[in-house]
Amino acid sequence: MEERFFAKLENACEEKQSLLCVGLDPQLEAGESSDPYGAILGKNRRVIEQTLPFACCYKPNIAFYEACGLEGLRALKDTLELIPEETPVILDAKRGDIGHTASAYAEALFSWYKVGCATVSPYLGRESVAPLLARPGKGLFVLCRTSNPQAGDLQAMLVGGQGRER
């Protein structure tokens, strides 16, 4: 049986005496766009090699890979294979949708990318996270409130009860 994600994370923190989570958010420099796969994988390999003694987990943000198309997604898949199996990975995907779409997200994140944990957005309700929660041993970080400067535009908005359906 696969070790539960948060137990694996706790073990990694204790073993390395660290709380360091390393973001893997590659941005291509001018001239690197001719080989996005090589540029991303090379950068990530260097970061992983330099931080592995200290990092209790890694957190790639899928958007930076998707922005580079198929080569970026291939670089993400190969980056994940560079990370030792005992090191936890959180895929920052912020997925959230209903029904079959949420099930497809769960399959992609946990079966295709084979990560132990993902970020999700529950805005569409319980149905948007249920298929991800149903994966034994997998972890989720559920967005509830964020710290970005404009977050309050929506998150702190007072909503009156007038005209509201129940």
Catalytic residue among 16, 59, 94, 114: 94
Beta bridge partners of 60: 24
H or E element in which residue 90 lies: strand 90-95
The yes-or-no answer on residue 59 being catalytic is no
Residue 56 backbone dihedrals phi, psi, to 5 degrees: -90, -15
Cα radius of gyration rounded to whole Å, the chain: 18
Q: Where does the chain have alpha helices with state H? A: 5-16, 36-51, 62-66, 69-82, 99-106, 130-133, 152-155
Would you give the DSSP letter of residue 36? H
Angle (nearest 5°) at CA 91 between 84 and 50:
40
Q: Which residue type occupies 16?
A: K
Residues labelled catalytic: 94
